[in-house]
Amino acid sequence: MPQGFAQQKQEIKMTVRKSLCVILATSLLAPITAMASYPERPIELIIPFGQGGGNDLVGRAFSQSLAEYSEVDVLPVNRTGGSGAVGFHAASSARPNGYTLAMINSSLVGNPHMIDGFPASVDDFTPICLLSAEPVGIAVSASSNIETLEDWVSIAQENPDQLALGYTSIGELIALSAGNVTDTDPTLIPYSGSGDAITAVIGGHIDGAIVSDAEAYAQVQAEQLRMLTFFSEERSLSLPNIPTSAEAGYPLDIGLFRAIGAPANLPDDIENYLIDACTHIAQQDSFIERMNRIGFNVQLRTGDDFKQWLNRQNEAFSAAADLLEQ
């Protein structure tokens, strides 16, 4: 065999070996690269409630900011029905790969304790971040002679049938919890929406209503409503002059919130990425302005802090549901 041909054959073998090494190395690195590049395609944010409500507005504000941070499309999708059951079930049943997220709220910790067979609970989600917590309390008419929580408790204990307290949805559980810690039992009146309950209070049809700071803010500023207290650990950012029930000797932390969750068993690297995204977003003026524009303050909690806070909320609603069965 001519020497030149033998050398050429050897060079071809070396080239093939090098090519195989490159192909093998590339194939081995491919999964690692794919994981490291999350997110690389659009993310869906399931909103378990209809368009125009607080959950929808917060979800869309977050989607816009997450899209800017991640540089992929974030698609808010309303999946309504069953007091959140349809959307929560769809989100919790999705693959835990970071491409399906959900707006989680008080309904997720309240409804499983009120509705038999509710298809999802906090255990079905990886809590990512709290975006906003709305303290809830008792509002009365600004013209009422009831000026403090102590006044309300005194009247309710002396004349249990004299006070009527309005509520909406899971507000019943909050009303029961409030009655439990204050040893009062006012007549509870259900309403289809907080606006209807507030109108009834201002019109003198009921004595008070269970409402959040966001729901009552405009009427408080217009001096139509008076907030007696909020059942929360900390004072409201929107209405900081209103004392908490704990300050009056009645500790209770139960209210409304808007947060981001993902299906349970989310990989740690994706969870950490999303927590970093939430932390960045919550500090951006653009997101804070979007939230303020729709009537919400940004109150960020992430990681173990958020998980522990969420568990406390779940325990509070569970205890309230036990009262409902008594």
| Alpha-carbon span 253 to 31, nearest angstrom | 45
User: Which has the closest alpha carbon to 260: 247, 249, 270, 250?
Assistant: 270
User: Which has the closest alpha carbon to 228: 135, 139, 134?
Assistant: 139
Q: What is the DSSP string of 140-165?
A: EETT-S--SHHHHHHHHHH-TTT-EE
The position carrying tokens 């991640």 is 70
Measured between alpha carbons, how far is residue 225 from residues 142, 146, 195, 219 in Å? 5, 11, 12, 5
In this prediction the pTM is 0.80
Mean per-residue pLDDT pooled into runs of 10, the chain (326 residues): 40 38 38 63 96 90 97 97 94 98 95 93 97 95 97 92 90 92 94 90 96 91 97 91 95 93 97 98 95 90 95 91 82
For residue 213, give the H/E element and its range.
helix 213-221
Beta bridge partners of 262: 126
Dig out the tokens for 71 from the structure: 């540089």
User: Which has the closest alpha carbon to 194: 186, 184, 202?
Assistant: 202
- SS3 at position 301: strand
Phi, psi of 154 (to 5 degrees): -60, -45
| Alpha-carbon span 104 to 83, nearest angstrom | 12
What local confidence, expressed as pLDDT, does residue 73 receive? 98
For residue 109, give the H/E element and its range.
helix 106-114
For residue 102, give the H/E element and its range.
strand 100-105
Q: What is the largest CA-CA distance in the chain?
A: 115
Dig out the tokens for 298 from the structure: 């940004």
| Alpha-carbon span 243 to 240, nearest angstrom | 8
Q: Which amino acid is at 145?
A: N
Neighbour-count burial of 31, counting CB atoms closer than 10 A to its CB (0-12 exposed, 13-18 middle, 19+ buried) = exposed
The position carrying tokens 């808010």 is 76
User: Which has the closest alpha carbon to 88: 262, 258, 317?
Assistant: 262
Strands in 117-253 per DSSP E:
125-134, 136-141, 164-168, 187-191, 208-212, 225-230
Q: How many CB atoms lie within 10 A of CB 37?
A: 9
What's 40-63 look like in SS3? CCCEEEEECCCCCCHHHHHHHHHH
| Alpha-carbon span 272 to 32, nearest angstrom | 17
Phi, psi of 281 (to 5 degrees): -60, -45
Q: How many CB atoms lie within 10 A of CB 51?
A: 13
Are 182 and 171 spatial neighbours (Cβ–Cβ below 8 Å)?
A: no
